[in-house]
Amino acid sequence: MRTDAPRALRYAAPLAVAAVVLGLWEAAVRLNDVPTWLVPAPSRIVATLFEDRALLLDSLAVTLGIALAALALAVVLGVTAALLFVQSRWLEVSLFPYAVLLQVTPIVAIAPLIIIWVKDTRVALVMCATVVAIFPIISNTTLGLRSVDPGLAALFRMNRASRWQVLARLRIPSALPYFFGGLRIASGLALIGAVVAEFVAGTGGAGAGLAYQILLAGIQLNVPRLFAALVLIAAAGVALFGASVLAARLALGRWHESELAPPD
């Protein structure tokens, strides 16, 4: 993409693509008389979103709540782990392989166990999503805490800085850009983890999330509602991503290259 594209075009172009695709979709469904239970028209999906809003928004709140709780937990636990890792090589060498193990094992394979062991389903779902989201936080933050300018490290040493001063004044600020890179990935993963875990758990009733609505709508061939739930999951993902980008901009905006405006 050319960097000198006008700002307006950057929003207008993707919106135009959406308008064309949705228009074609709508026309194709109407002209060919495709049944709603096979492919609903975009207008039908929007109508369903509106009609089923009470049900769908409740489910959105459940899924988003699980994803946010998991993200918060992943940040707290992941940053703690990274801080411990940089204080002790031994700890890192002993524990990091297990963080990797956790990362490479598919969550669908672990979820049934967690759901069996943990009585409260909501807690089990948060745990599953945390397992998925935590790795980029641990690995990025650890890398960032170690990526200290060697000259600055020497300067701190020359001035007899304490371990705590090095951590607070040098390591943590140096790690911030890396941490926010990890957060950006983790925000998407937390939502994926929440949805996958819900699928496995199949929790219905009052605590039903969007994944359950998709599962149920699929069985009932209520395809418009399935699409509506899908739209909401995508919107939630975009919102989480946007929030993490915003957080990074607020924290780093003034000094870090990654958040500086590209030269126009």
Stretch that binds other proteins, among 106-114, 158-166, 179-187, 224-232 (CB under 8 A): 158-166
Q: Measured between alpha carbons, how far is 22 from 153 in angstroms, rounded to an integer? A: 55
Question: Is the distance from CB of 210 to CB of 235 less than 8 angstroms?
Answer: no
Does position 164 bind other proteins by CB under 8 A?
Answer: no
Question: Is the distance from CB of 126 to CB of 66 less than 8 angstroms?
Answer: yes
Does position 258 bind other proteins by CB under 8 A?
Answer: no
Candidate list 15, 109, 158, 261; residue touching other proteins; CB under 8 A: 158
Q: Minimal distance in Å, beta carbon 159 to other proteins?
A: 4
Between CA 202 and CA 184, with CA 190 as vertex, the angle to 5 degrees is: 160
Structure tokens at 28: 């194709």
Does position 159 bind other proteins by CB under 8 A?
Answer: yes
- Binding to other proteins (CB under 8 A) within 172-191 occurs at 173, 176
Q: Any alpha helices (H) in 88-120, and if so which ranges?
A: 89-104, 107-117
Candidate list 44, 146, 249, 256; residue touching other proteins; CB under 8 A: 256
Residues in the chain, overall count = 264
Does position 249 bind other proteins by CB under 8 A?
Answer: no
Structure tokens at 152: 């600055």
List CB contacts of 35: < 8 A, sequence separation 6 or more: none
Task: Tell me whether residue 109 or residue 158 sits nearer to other proteins (CB atom).
Answer: 158
Does position 93 bind other proteins by CB under 8 A?
Answer: no
Q: Measured between alpha carbons, how far is 119 from 58 in angstroms, rounded to an integer? A: 22
Q: Minimal distance in Å, beta carbon 149 to other proteins?
A: 6
Q: Minimal distance in Å, beta carbon 4 to other proteins?
A: 23
- Binding to other proteins (CB under 8 A) within 120-149 occurs at 149
Task: Enumerate binding residues for other proteins (CB under 8 A).
Answer: 149, 151-152, 154-161, 165, 169-170, 173, 176, 252, 254-256
